[in-house]
Amino acid sequence: MQQLDASDRRILLALDEDPRVPVMMLAQRLGLARGTVHSRLERLAASGCLRTHSARVLPQALDRGVMAMVSAELDQSKLNDAVEALRKIPEVLECHAPAGDTDLLIRVVAHSPDDLYRVSEEIRFCPGITRTSTQMFLREVIPYRTTGLLKQD
């Protein structure tokens, strides 16, 4: 992943404030050429710095107001099978392989606590997963953010 320079950070900060701003308006606000802003956004997307695969739809808007983290232990030889099966569960928002005793941390959403049980069971029955533990989030106190990081340096 590439290093961000001052112009990249200014562009990303402006997009953090208003992600739907047209490139032309963004360029005007920042005093940059439209082509410069456009090419930098393309470069950032191509290098993996920007999440371009999705508009950030809130799960609540899709009637999935319950959010949880599922910790999974697995048979290490079946990691790829487990990940492939997890990809097929729509309620799985993301999955990480952390350091430590847990093999996978899986962020999920559900309609209700009963539905969360169903999702947790679907995860537990994925090939290679031997044990799970589910922690339901009661509320979000700090949403996903990168603004503070962009303002550093």
Domain that holds residue 78: 59-137
Considering the domain architecture, whether residues 73 and 130 belong to the same structural domain is answered as yes
- Give, in degrees to the nearest 5, the angle at Cα 88 between 132 and 58: 85
Question: What's the predicted TM-score (pTM) here?
Answer: 0.79
pLDDT in tens, 34-78: 999 999 999 988 887 876 655 567 888 889 999 999 999 999 999
Considering the domain architecture, whether residues 108 and 40 belong to the same structural domain is answered as no
Quote the pLDDT of residue 45: 84
Considering the domain architecture, whether residues 35 and 71 belong to the same structural domain is answered as no
Considering the domain architecture, whether residues 131 and 74 belong to the same structural domain is answered as yes
Pairing of strands 129-137, 66-74: antiparallel
Distances (CA, A) of 123 to 2, 10, 49, 105, 106: 34, 40, 29, 11, 9
Considering the domain architecture, whether residues 39 and 78 belong to the same structural domain is answered as no
Considering the domain architecture, whether residues 67 and 120 belong to the same structural domain is answered as yes
pLDDT in tens, 75-111: 999 999 999 999 999 999 999 999 999 999 999 999 9
Considering the domain architecture, whether residues 118 and 90 belong to the same structural domain is answered as yes
Residues 6 or more apart whose Cβ sits within 8 Å of residue 65: 59, 109, 111
